[in-house]
Amino acid sequence: MPTLNVALGERQYPIHIGSGLLGRADLVAAELPTPRVAIVSNEVVAPLYLARWTGALQAAGIRITEVVLPDGESSKNWETLNRIFDALLADRCDRATTLMALGGGVVGDLAGFAAATYQRGIPFIQVPTTLLAQVDSSVGGKTGINHPRGKNMIGAFWQPRMVLADTDTLNTLPDRELSAGMAEVIKYGLIRDLPFLEWLEDNMGRLMARDPEALSFAIERSCANKAEVVAGDERETAKEGGRALLNLGHTFGHAIETGVGYGEWLHGEAVAAGTVMAAELSRRLGWLAKSDVDRVRDLLARAALPVIGAPLGAARYLDLMGHDKKVVAGRLRLVLLKRLGEACTYADAPPDAVRAAIEGCCA
Amino acid sequence: MPTLNVALGERQYPIHIGSGLLGRADLVAAELPTPRVAIVSNEVVAPLYLARWTGALQAAGIRITEVVLPDGESSKNWETLNRIFDALLADRCDRATTLMALGGGVVGDLAGFAAATYQRGIPFIQVPTTLLAQVDSSVGGKTGINHPRGKNMIGAFWQPRMVLADTDTLNTLPDRELSAGMAEVIKYGLIRDLPFLEWLEDNMGRLMARDPEALSFAIERSCANKAEVVAGDERETAKEGGRALLNLGHTFGHAIETGVGYGEWLHGEAVAAGTVMAAELSRRLGWLAKSDVDRVRDLLARAALPVIGAPLGAARYLDLMGHDKKVVAGRLRLVLLKRLGEACTYADAPPDAVRAAIEGCCA
């Protein structure tokens, strides 16, 4: 079982990746301040894995509180968050209770934010069951909920004590969600790991066929990239580069998610279309060749991801992008590609070029 | 102008205390990442001070967003918090915007929690206008909202960049709120500063007559005590003593606040009655003499504070105290007095003694 480390000083934690981890209560038990866990899951994941995982933990002497939430990005709001608080309080969970997220990115973001704010913060463990959560959202401590005016607008940085990524859970993942996770995998290659990008171009067929060995390698390599970036810039405060680079395609993508309505496009799908826009804008700035943009588009398309944005109109995109957290002091700071394998943040893209890139990548 | 320092390493910050500080935009301007501030106040404080303070800041070139909330502990909930988020998003406040609380403890707790969670955290400045906020709630980084099942159950530790305590604002404070703040002032003497307790016994008359010099001294001495405790135990994780000692009377007091309904008793009033219960329980454990308990009761009474608890019945008190954040691993950890001027945390008080102490201090 490969184990990576997220090097955050006193907040450092391990990421365990492998098959059969949902039976390994021993890994968890050693990390708990008291044998008391509240597991947050959703209506799709719970029937598949909750009973088995709860059973393993109970056999290790751990008392469990279960919270099962509705599925989907549209549930990432205050009302759903409050269901977690209600359950914790009803069961008298105290400050030493460990909150555990069993599910995808939405469950992880909700449970993580609940852990960050219940009694001003309790221990948290991520057990991601989707590719997206395993390679991206479960690592790095970003938690939060959506606001009608913008995605992830309310939240906190709250690092887990451990990430447990059982690759077996990908066997039950719908094709569309496998693809959505692949958008973030491809992102790591694009922003900082050209050899990995080339490996992905050579192995996308195996990945989409769910070859376990290929998937394990892609998850490990993705987590290693993310862990390095997070360790260097935990709270996304670096003036140049740093954690912001992980948002390649995300500012355009958030505009799609918000403009279309949360839950219509999966996050990874919106990121894929947004990544093409970012590549196209990079080309217009003279940094990428047309052939580079084609490579980006082709790889995303081979992962069965959308490469054409939602037809919101460029004006609406720009308006929605103006609400993005990447706006600082009124300037839109975009993540773009200097070349394949190297991203940068850039606040000086001419508005006309941004508009043209959006229009060139929409239906 | 006395300035204290809260020694928290990279999160250290100054507490300025004095007359006329609500005109000192220069103190604030030097600390802002960008000249952009959102001021959160309430319907009582805003008519008194908001226009003058906003004017001073605008004259210093700072752009202001104003958010005026309803008054009172009953507004310390998610709905009110969301009004802050709505206003910040409507005005496109970004991550470099500084949130400022102008008001008492409720405004500070709400605004601080909004600052902790808006876009995963933005800079925060406390401008407390009540005695309670100046001596206690504005210092130390505790923020949060109430839940129907318990006070301050949802929140975060989020340190301000600065505390600006203008003692002139106490001139408009209602008598009842002056008293409520005095409960926390007396607390510092009881838990760790016997000379200050004796000074308070000698000077309570001057304080209640709002003698400016006496009030300034009491605020400074209280903040100095709080700053020392917070610097030693920022997140209340110390196994013994530490920040938990600041909660003398609070576990009993929270039961009163929750049991009677938020807003009926002021926080400081509930703490006063709770402090008498804690003193009485300390006597029953053999740590205080009856004359010590009388001194505690008399000093609180001279500050026009209630020294008799709400008649909820001991069973209801104990039930409500079981929801308190001070419960860890099922054991109720109380703050008690080893002697006047020295508090301790104690998890082994016999339930019968706790019950008797409550019954002995209720109507």
Is the CB of A59 inside 8 Å of chain B's CB atoms? no
Domain-ending residue, one of B155, B172, B189: B172
Please tell me whether residues A155 and A255 are part of one structural domain.
no
**From the CA of A180, how many Å to the nearest CA of chain B?**
24
| Contact residues on chain B for A92, CB-CB shorter than 8 A | 322-323, 327, 330
Which chain B residue's Cα is nearest to A149? B89
CB B30 within 8 A of CB B162: no
Which chain A residue's Cα is nearest to B94? A328
Confidence check: pLDDT of B328 > 80: no
Chain A, 69-128: which have a CB under 8 Å from a chain B CB? Answer: 78, 82, 85-86, 89-90, 92, 94-96, 116-121
Q: For residues B223 and B131, give the distance between their C-alpha atoms in angstroms, rounded to a whole number.
A: 11
Instruction: Report, as an integer, the average pLDDT of B125-149.
Output: 95
Q: What is the CATH number of the domain that holds B39?
A: 3.40.50.1970
**From the CA of B151, how many Å to the nearest CA of chain A?**
10
Whether residue B92 and residue A327 make contact (CB cut-off 8 A), yes or no, is: yes
Instruction: Report, as an integer, the average pLDDT of B206-217.
Output: 95
| Contact residues on chain A for B96, CB-CB shorter than 8 A | 328-329
**From the CA of A44, how many Å to the nearest CA of chain B?**
27
Reading the block at residue A108, the tokens are 């992880």
CA–centroid distance for B89 within its chain = 28
**From the CA of A326, how many Å to the nearest CA of chain B?**
8
Please tell me whether residues A86 and A158 are part of one structural domain.
yes
Confidence of residue A330 (pLDDT cuts 50, 70, 90): low
Domain-ending residue, one of B133, B149, B172: B172
Residue in B85, B94, B323 nearest the CB of A154: B85
**Is residue B24 annotated as part of the catalytic site, yes or no?**
no
Confidence check: pLDDT of B331 > 80: no
The H-assigned helical ranges of B60-208 are: 78-90, 105-117, 131-132, 175-192, 194-208
Tell me the average pLDDT of chain B.
Answer: 94
Residue in B94, B116, B153 nearest the CB of A89: B153
Pairing state between β B124-128 and B162-166: parallel
The residue behind tokens 């999160």 is: B11
Which of A10, A80, A98, A117 is most worth mutating to test chain B (most B CB atoms within 10 A of its CB)?
A: A117
Please tell me whether residues A226 and A150 are part of one structural domain.
no
Q: Concatenated DSSP letters for B43-81? A: TTHIIIIIHHHHHHHHHTT-EEEEEEEPPSGGG-SHHHH
pTM for this prediction: 0.92
Catalytic one among B267, B283, B295, B297? B267
**Is residue B250 annotated as part of the catalytic site, yes or no?**
yes
| Contact residues on chain A for B235, CB-CB shorter than 8 A | 120-121
Which chain B residue's Cα is nearest to A236? B120
User: What is the reported pLDDT for A34?
Assistant: 96
Please tell me whether residues A162 and A212 are part of one structural domain.
no
User: CA distances (Å), A247 to each of A235, A238, A257, in order?
Assistant: 14, 14, 14
In a domain, A344, yes or no: yes
User: What is the reported pLDDT for A324?
Assistant: 64
Q: What confidence tens digit (pLDDT) does each residue in A204-248 have?
A: 999 999 999 999 999 999 999 999 999 999 999 888 889 999 999
User: What is the reported pLDDT for B241?
Assistant: 87
Please tell me whether residues B112 and B47 are part of one structural domain.
yes
Q: For residues A238 and A229, give the distance between their C-alpha atoms in angstroms, rounded to a whole number.
A: 11
User: What is the reported pLDDT for A328?
Assistant: 60
Confidence of residue B240 (pLDDT cuts 50, 70, 90): confident
**Is residue B201 annotated as part of the catalytic site, yes or no?**
no
Whether residue A117 and residue B118 make contact (CB cut-off 8 A), yes or no, is: no
Please work out, in degrees rounded to the nearest 5, the angle formed at the alpha carbon of residue B171 by the alpha carbons of B167 and B176.
105
Confidence check: pLDDT of B327 > 80: no
Please tell me whether residues A97 and A141 are part of one structural domain.
yes
CB A99 within 8 A of CB A40: yes
Reading the block at residue B73, the tokens are 């502990």
Which of B62, B124, B149, B154 is most worth mutating to test chain A (most A CB atoms within 10 A of its CB)?
A: B154
Q: What confidence tens digit (pLDDT) does each residue in A28-72 have?
A: 999 999 999 999 999 999 999 999 999 999 999 999 999 999 998
Which of A120, A152, A321 is most worth mutating to test chain B (most B CB atoms within 10 A of its CB)?
A: A120
Q: Which domain holds residue A91?
A: 3-172
Confidence of residue B256 (pLDDT cuts 50, 70, 90): very high
- Positions of A marked active-site: 120, 142, 184, 226, 236, 243, 247, 250, 254, 267
Residues in chain B: 363
Please tell me whether residues B38 and B112 are part of one structural domain.
yes
Is the CB of B331 inside 8 Å of chain A's CB atoms? no
**Is residue B243 annotated as part of the catalytic site, yes or no?**
yes
Whether residue A96 and residue B329 make contact (CB cut-off 8 A), yes or no, is: yes
Confidence of residue B10 (pLDDT cuts 50, 70, 90): confident
CB A160 within 8 A of CB A208: no
**From the CA of A287, how many Å to the nearest CA of chain B?**
29
The residue behind tokens 């500063």 is: B193
Is the CB of B287 inside 8 Å of chain A's CB atoms? no
Please tell me whether residues B104 and B18 are part of one structural domain.
yes
Q: What is the CATH number of the domain that holds B323?
A: 1.20.1090.10
| Contact residues on chain B for A85, CB-CB shorter than 8 A | 147, 153-154
**From the CA of B21, how many Å to the nearest CA of chain A?**
27
Please tell me whether residues A258 and A139 are part of one structural domain.
no
In a domain, A211, yes or no: yes
Using DSSP, state whether B12 is helix, strand or coil: coil
Domain-ending residue, one of B136, B152, B172: B172
Is the CB of B34 inside 8 Å of chain A's CB atoms? yes
Tell me the average pLDDT of chain A.
Answer: 94
In a domain, A315, yes or no: yes
Whether residue B154 and residue A117 make contact (CB cut-off 8 A), yes or no, is: yes
Please tell me whether residues A230 and A193 are part of one structural domain.
yes
**Is residue B147 annotated as part of the catalytic site, yes or no?**
no
Residue in A154, A328, A330 nearest the CB of B117: A154
User: What is the reported pLDDT for B60?
Assistant: 97
Instruction: Report, as an integer, the average pLDDT of A164-191.
Output: 97
CA–centroid distance for B249 within its chain = 13
Confidence of residue B261 (pLDDT cuts 50, 70, 90): confident
Confidence of residue B291 (pLDDT cuts 50, 70, 90): very high
| Contact residues on chain A for B144, CB-CB shorter than 8 A | 117, 120
**From the CA of A195, how many Å to the nearest CA of chain B?**
33
Q: Give the residue, B151 or B221, on which the prediction is more confident.
A: B221
Residue in B117, B154, B329 nearest the CB of A94: B329
Instruction: Report, as an integer, the average pLDDT of A89-116.
Output: 96
User: CA distances (Å), B352 to each of A295, A309, B318, B355, in order?
Assistant: 75, 68, 11, 5
Q: For residues A29 and A166, give the distance between their C-alpha atoms in angstroms, rounded to a whole number.
A: 17
**From the CA of A202, how many Å to the nearest CA of chain B?**
38
Q: For residues B292 and B287, give the distance between their C-alpha atoms in angstroms, rounded to a whole number.
A: 10
User: What is the reported pLDDT for B346?
Assistant: 94
Whether residue B95 and residue A328 make contact (CB cut-off 8 A), yes or no, is: yes
Chain A, 120-179: which have a CB under 8 Å from a chain B CB? Answer: 120-121, 142, 144, 147, 149-150, 152-157
Instruction: Report, as an integer, the average pLDDT of A341-346.
Output: 96
Instruction: Report, as an integer, the average pLDDT of A92-117.
Output: 97
Based on the structure, what is the number of domains in chain B?
A: 2
Please tell me whether residues B10 and B107 are part of one structural domain.
yes
Please tell me whether residues B240 and B167 are part of one structural domain.
no
Q: Which parts of chain A are beta strand (E)?
A: 3-6, 13-18, 36-42, 63-69, 98-103, 124-128, 142-147, 150-157, 162-166, 327-328, 331-332, 334-339, 342-346
User: What is the reported pLDDT for A322?
Assistant: 80
Dihedral sign for Cα B203, B205, B208, B213, please. Answer: negative
In a domain, A70, yes or no: yes
